[in-house]
Amino acid sequence: MSHQKDLDQLCINTIRTLAMDAVQAANSGHPGTPMGMAPVAYNLWQNFLAFDPADPIWPNRDRFILSIGHASMLLYSLLHLTGVKALNDNYETLDEPSVTLDDIKRFRQLDSKCAGHPEYRWTSGVETTTGPLGQGVAVSVGMAIAREWLSAHFNQPDFELFDYNVYALCGDGDMMEGVSSEAASLAGHLKLSNLCWIYDSNRVTIEGSTDLAFSDDIATRFMAYGWNVTRVGDANDLDMLARALKRFRDTSAGPTLIIVDSHIGYGAPNKQDSSDAHGAPLGEEEVRLTKRAYGWPEDAKFLVPDGVREHFSAGIGQRGAALREAWFAKFEAYTEQYPDLAEQIHKMQHGQLPDGWDKDLPTFAPDPKGLASRASSGKVLNAVAKNVLWLMGGAADLAPSTKTNLTFEGAGDLTPENYGGRNIHFGVREHTMGSILNGLSHSKIRPYGSGFLIFSDYARPAIRLSALMEIPVIHIFTHDSIGVGEDGPTHQPIEQVTSLRAIPGLIVLRPADANEVVEAWRVVMQLQHEPAALILSRQALPTLDRSIYGAASGVAKGAYVLADADDGQPEVLLLATGSEVHLCLAAYEQLKTEGIKARVVSMPSWELFDQQDEAYKESVLPSAVVARVAVEQASTLAWGRYTGLQGRVIGMDTFGTSAPIKDVQERFGFTPERVVATVKELVQSR
């Protein structure tokens, strides 16, 4: 064996043994896939990946996503051995490693950078949080779309600034999850030739052989999607894998799937059942036997032999540094020739908004008839997107209903013939839409996606991950209540708003009129580390006269006093969001004629309100006023945090029904008369 091949095998076995030792020390984790796929990951990183360990976020780096997040030790070993640098919270590179050997020794332990599954923002070099299978490959489609869009907008003759590739390592579990099918279908339709999925076909899951539940012909399936498919019959064949990766780089017609046949825990003699190797530590004796098979010191733990780090440094280290330096030199020349474009790239990469981004925000005049908040939101979206080039998105086949089409000149549709379009047609694919939005956000685009609120259930896993990763994705949901009417209980959301509010870090906003919509967008566009969910109506909402009622700018604080008792000393508080604010205002006027002093509080965002200081919260919801009525055409669950034990909630504790909107609202008691009666009952009982 040549010296080069000896070094290759030494590095591969180092990856394997670090994974075995870490899982064994933690007595938790998955050693099999890191062992089986170590040659594949090594070859990709060492010989192909355009990635600089000294600057893991330079804009034109290749992206590597470990969609099989349970194989996290494979990635952590690579991050350690290649010397990837850590970043601080401001995305500044530090002179310290992202993953230390001590982190690996403390795999899956408190505060280790080697968490059970890779976490974005926690460990530098992790491009996206993975773990729920299918999410990583779906996110990779968003990153690939982003590259094509960036190329279309910013590349110039002699200045190909954006030409990176996106690689995702996936497995049988990814292929079984429906989101991967959605993602692969759209990627094939869009002909994303910069996208490569490497499929570890080891035919093992937690329960045992995939024969139990999975017999798809993956190659045929992906060819039907419009992918280029190639196969590597042995994961240890570095030459065959290199040919497959070169073929991908030379292909300009559609995405590529490389099917790699591997065996869980490959190379371990007398190993236990392969499904156990997939999802549990090997055991001390099995670890020693496996190391013996590798020609490794049997009792050595967390060994990194001399020459391994140096070999990686001479490979990916030198290649990545040269590519990065050349890119920044090119960008410096680009800045001189195309200063306006360079400024846009700079602002986008740093999460900044362009000057004057909000200059065209409309102000809506008072109007008793008003607009559906989905309609006013569409107007605001177009006003903002016209001034923020990298604000883009679409709908899960519902743009005419969600009013999320960008209609100004030059917006266009993103298609294989026009990657510069800003309207993305996701098709009826809510789940992968959310994941693709996450991939776009990772690429510094400001993405939005839309659908009916009831279908947020289909997108929830991706929404949850956007919150976990602290990325500012915009989720727009319309048809927000039983006000959907005739479509009936299958389309009338009940628990969805409460469910979204339960996601930590997600900002949920349900505005009450067109001017609250404007202010909601003003808030959303300035978020940098929080995703947002805009909850919008299908039915028209009166546009309030702000010379009479509180200023809509109160939206920024989550809740504000909309109408108050004449002396500012209310005896009852009426709390509401969205369309129900108008019910409370009607009840307020009636109560006023009857001598009952009420205050109406619009609460578009619980999350923003809870962030305010105690003095402000007390000024809006004075603790001395215990008579409180909350009104929302949604689940009553959780409103008690604001109404208290002595308050009342007018909401939904059942599913809805199919009928015209007025009949539905009357059936479930969403009328001014019901609010008034509830207030009187409360006041009289005190």
How far apart are alpha carbons 500 and 629 in whole angstroms? Answer: 22
* C-beta separation of 142 from 424 below 8 A: no
How far apart are alpha carbons 477 and 373 in whole angstroms? Answer: 11
Across 142-268, the runs of DSSP E, i.e. the strands, are: 166-171, 195-201, 204-205, 208-209, 228-232, 256-261
The CA–CA distances, whole Å, from 319 to 93, 240, 316, 325 equal 19, 22, 5, 10
Listed in sequence order, the residues at least 6 apart from 470 whose beta carbon sits closer than 8 Å to its beta carbon are 121, 505, 529, 530
How far apart are alpha carbons 80 and 89 in whole angstroms? Answer: 20
How far apart are alpha carbons 544 and 512 in whole angstroms? Answer: 9
The H-or-E segment that residue 25 falls in is: helix 3-26
* C-beta separation of 508 from 527 below 8 A: no
DSSP class of 595: T
Q: Helix (H, G, I), strand (E, B), or coil: what is residue 288?
A: helix
How far apart are alpha carbons 295 and 1 in whole angstroms? Answer: 14
Q: With CA atoms as reference, report the closest residue to 414 among 430, 390, 380, 431.
A: 390
Q: Is 666 exposed, middle or buried (0-12, 13-18, 19+ CB in 10 A)?
A: middle
Q: Is 500 exposed, middle or buried (0-12, 13-18, 19+ CB in 10 A)?
A: buried
Q: With CA atoms as reference, report the closest residue to 510 among 623, 519, 502.
A: 519
* C-beta separation of 220 from 258 below 8 A: no
- For β-strands 93-97 and 85-87, DSSP reports them as antiparallel
Q: Is the dihedral of CA 33, 34, 36, 37 positive or negative?
A: positive
CA angle 175, 182, 172 (to 5 degrees): 5
**Cα 348 versus chain centre, distance:** 18
In the block, which residue shows the tokens 């609250």? 516
Listed in sequence order, the residues at least 6 apart from 5 whose beta carbon sits closer than 8 Å to its beta carbon are none
What one-letter code names the amino acid at 389? L
DSSP class of 300: -
How far apart are alpha carbons 315 and 311 in whole angstroms? Answer: 6
How far apart are alpha carbons 393 and 449 in whole angstroms? Answer: 6
Catalytic residue, candidates 127, 182, 430, 580: 430
The CA–CA distances, whole Å, from 178 to 174, 185, 222, 431 equal 8, 11, 14, 9
What one-letter code names the amino acid at 496? Q
Q: Helix (H, G, I), strand (E, B), or coil: what is residue 103?
A: helix
How far apart are alpha carbons 86 and 88 in whole angstroms? Answer: 7
Q: Is 430 a catalytic residue?
A: yes
How far apart are alpha carbons 135 and 366 in whole angstroms? Answer: 45
Q: At what angle do helices 318-337 and 339-349 cross, to 10 degrees?
A: 130
Q: With CA atoms as reference, report the closest residue to 152 among 435, 394, 488, 413.
A: 413
Q: Which residues are catalytic?
A: 430
